[in-house]
Structure 1
Amino acid sequence: MRILVTGKNGQIGRCLVEQLSTMSDITLLALDRDQLDITDSINVNKVVAEFIPNIIINAAAYTAVDKAEKERELAYAVNRDGPYNLAVAANNINAIIIHISTDYVFAGYSVAAYVETDDTEPQSEYGRSKLAGEQAVERACSRHIILRTGWAFAEQGHNFVNTMLRLTKTTDTLDVVADQFGSPTYAGDIANAIMIITKQLADGNQAYGVYHYSGFPYVSWHAFAEKIFELALAQGVLKQSIQVNPVTTPDYPTPAKRPANSRLNCQKINQEFGIVQSDWQAALVRIGQYSR
C-alpha cells in the first residue's frame, strides 16, 4: 500500500509518520509545506500522479484560530483549496483521501455532544474555512473519510498543554475559561485511529463519510488546565502549585468566537471501525516529555 501524508511536521502529521514508518507493507511519502504546497494544484497533481498513492492523508491545515479572522484568504487557501486539490488528485487515480477537520465547524449551542449529521454553523473564519474544506473534499472525491477532532495536543508543537506549561515560567496564577466544553485529544491517538481506518479501507471496508474522533472525558478548558498542572506537580515538572482561576468567555475576549460546546459524539466511528475514544488523561501522564 502506498500512502501520501501531507503536513508531516504538524502535531498529527508527526505522529502519523512515526507510526506509518514502522509498517513494512507500506510505501510512505510524507511531505511538509516546503515540499508540497497543497494550495498549488499543478504541483499537487504532479506529485500524486508520480507517486500514485492508494491513500492520501491530509494532515496539513491552517490552525491559527484567532489570526484567521484577519488572514481569511490564507485560511481558506490552506483549509479549503488545498484539500480540494488533494481530493481532485485522489479522484483522478481512484485513490482514497482521509481529511482531518475540526469540532469548530459547530456553533456550540447544543447541550449534547455533536453527532456527524448535526447542522454545522461555524462561528469563526477558521471554522468556516474548515467546513468549506470538508465540502470541497466531499464534492471532489466520493472515496473520502472526513475525520473531525478537537483540542489536539502532543509532546511537541503549539497546543494548549505546552502553552500552559510555558506560562508557568513567568506566573503562578492563570485565568482559564470555564464555560467552553470540549474533548482534549492526544495527537498520537488520532494518528492511531487513522491507522486503523487505513488498514480497514485497504481490506475492503468502504464505510466512507464523515466521522468524529476525540478524547474522553469531556471537560472545560479550566478543568483541562487543572489536570495538566496536577500531573505536572506530581511528577516534579512544576515546583509549586499553579492557581487556576475560572473565568467566563466574556471575561476573556478573543478575536475569534469559540463554541461553548464542541463535544463530539464518537459512536459512529466505534460502530464502523471499532475505534474507541482517546484517553487523553493517560496521554498526559507522560507530561514530563512535553515541551516546557
Structure 2
Amino acid sequence: MRMRILLLGADSELGQALLHLAAAEDIAIDAIERPAQGWQPEQLKGWFAQYQPDAVVNLAFYHQHFQLGCNDADSLVLQRKFGEELIALSKQADCLLFLLSSARVFDGLKSTAYTEKDALAPGDALGQLHVDLEKRLKDNCERHIMLRLGWVLDGSPDGQLVRLLEQLRSGEPLLLAEEWRGNPTPVGDAARVMLAILKQLDCAAPLYGTYHYGSSEASSWISFVKSLAQELMASKQLEQVPTIRSVPFDQQLDSVWEPQNAVLASRRLLMAFGIKPRAWRSQLPDLLRQLN
C-alpha cells in the first residue's frame, strides 16, 4: 500500500481485527494503542509529526461508542475535543481522515432502512456528538470517509455480545424487545469493509464521503438472540432452550439509548466500492469460536 496509514485505537477489538486482516495481506499500518493516561487531544500533534501519515483511521473511542453507548458528559467533552483537534490536524496535513459514526444519528422512527440521504435527528448526547463531528469533518476535510455502523458484535468482556451470552447461559428468562431492529455486524466483517475501502482509496479512487454498512440481513434483536441461542445449542455451549419474553422497546434496559430502527442500507457502499454485505448468520460460528 502506498499510503502511510496511522491507526488510533489499535488495541480495540475493531483495531485488532483490522490489523489482523492487513497483516494477512502484508499491508503495513502504523498502530497506536490507548496511552496509559488515556486519549488526549494534546497527543495528536506529536503523532502527526512522528508518523507523517497519508491517512488516519480513528478508533480511539470505538469501545465507548459501539459497546458501551457511553453518554457520560465529561467523556463526551473529551471525545469532542479529540475529534475536533484530529480534524484540524488532518486538514492542515491534507491527509485522508477515516472516522466512524453510528445509527444513533437517526431518530429510529422510519419504517424502512436508513440511507445516507435521510435527515439526521439524534436522540441522545452520543448521537449528537456523532452528528456534530460528521458536519465538522465534511466542512473541513475534502478527503474523508465517514462510515456509519450499527450493532457491532465483538468479544469485549463488558460488550453487548458477551453480556448477552452471560444472560443466555444463566438460565434466567430474557426480556427482549421485538421492535428493536438493526444489522448485527461481527467485528471482523466491519474490519473487512474498512480495509477494502482503504485499499481502493490507495488506488487514488476519489470516493470520499459518508457511507453505511451493516451485515445482511436486518433483524430484530429478539430474532438475533434466538439465532444465537440455536448456534450455542448446536455447538454444545448451551444446554437448554432459553426463555425469551417480548417487551416494549422502551422497557429493554440493554438498548441503553439507541434508535428503535437502527437498520442501515449499504447500497451506496456497494455501488461506489463494490463491497458486498455478508450475512451475519454465516459468521456466527466463527465469531463464537473466537470467544472461547
Q: TM-score, normalised by structure 1?
A: 0.91
1:29 aligned to 2:35? no
Partner SS for 2:227:
helix
**Corresponding residue for 2:96?**
96
Taking a change above 3 Å as real, the CA distance of residues 23 and 76 of structure 1, as seen in their structure-2 partners, is: farther
Cα distance between partner residues in 2 of 1:237 and 1:9: 28
8 Å Cα contact 2:68-2:160 kept in structure 1: no
Percent identity over paired residues: 23
Q: Which residue does 1:15 correspond to in 2?
A: 17
Instruction: Answer yes or no: is the 8 Å Cα contact 1:106–1:119 preserved in 2.
Output: yes
Q: Which secondary structure state, in structure 1, belongs to the residue aligned with residue 170 of structure 2?
A: coil
User: Is the partner of 1:195 in helix, strand or coil?
Assistant: helix
With over 3 angstroms needed to count, the CA separation of the structure-2 counterparts of 1:48 and 1:58, relative to structure 1, is: same
**Does the aligned pair in 2 maintain the 1:176–1:247 contact within 8 Å?**
yes
Q: Is there any run of 5+ residues in structure 1 with no aligned partner, and where?
A: none
User: So what's the TM-score if we normalise by structure 2?
Assistant: 0.91
Partner deviation per Cα, 1:39-79 (whole Å, 9 max, x = no partner): 42x320110122011111111223265641xx12312422x
Deviation at 1:91, TM superposition (A): 2.1
SS of residue paired to 2:146: strand
2:170 corresponds to which residue?
170
Do the aligned partners of 2:169 and 2:238 also contact (CA within 8 Å) in 1?
A: no
Q: Distance in 1 between matches of 2:255 and 2:273?
A: 38
Aligned residue for 1:3? 5
Using the TM superposition, name which of 88-97 and 209-218 deviates more. Answer: 88-97
Which residue identity does 1:77 align to in structure 2?
L
Alpha-carbon distance, 1:22 to partner: 2.8
Partner Cα separation in structure 1 for residue 158 and residue 59 of structure 2: 15
Q: C-alpha separation between the residues in 2 aligned to 1:288 and 1:254?
A: 20
Letter in 1 for 2:10: K
Q: C-alpha separation between the residues in 2 aligned to 1:85 and 1:37?
A: 16
Equivalent residues in 2 for 1:220-231 (5 A)?
220-231=220-231
Within-5 A mapping of 1:231-270 = 231-252=231-252, 256-270=256-270
Q: Could you report, residue by residue, the CA deviation over 1:141-164 in whole angstroms, capped at 9, with x for unpaired residues?
A: 221000000100124454332211
Write the letter of the residue equivalent to 2:4. Answer: R
2:209 & 2:38 partners in 1: Cα distance?
25
- Whether the aligned pair in 1 keeps the contact of 2:103 and 2:264 (CA below 8 Å) is yes
SS in 1 for 2:24: coil
Does the 8 A contact of 1:186 with 1:278 survive in 2?
Answer: no
Give distance in 1, aligned partners of 2:6 and 2:69. Answer: 30
**Residue type at the aligned position of 1:28:** I
CA, structure 1 residues 59+157, in 2 after alignment: closer, same or farther (shift >3 Å)?
farther
Instruction: Tell me the secondary structure at the aligned position of residue 6 of structure 2.
Output: strand
More helix by share: 2
CA distance in 2, matches of 1:270, 1:228: 27
Alignment partners' CA distance in 1, 2:194 and 2:204 = 15
CA RMSD of aligned residues (A): 2.1
> Contact between 2:115 and 2:264, CA under 8 Å: does it hold in 1?
yes
**Partner residue, 1:203:** 203
- Give 3-state SS (helix, strand or coil) of 1:216's partner: coil
Give, as a single letter, the amino acid of the residue that structure 2 aligns with 1:187: V
Provide structure 2 residue ranges, at least 5 long, that are not aligned to the other structure: none
The whole-number CA distance in structure 1 between the counterparts of 2:37 and 2:214 is 28
Return the alpha-carbon distance in structure 1 between the equivalents of residues 29 and 178 of structure 2. Answer: 42
CA distance in 2, matches of 1:256, 1:237: 27
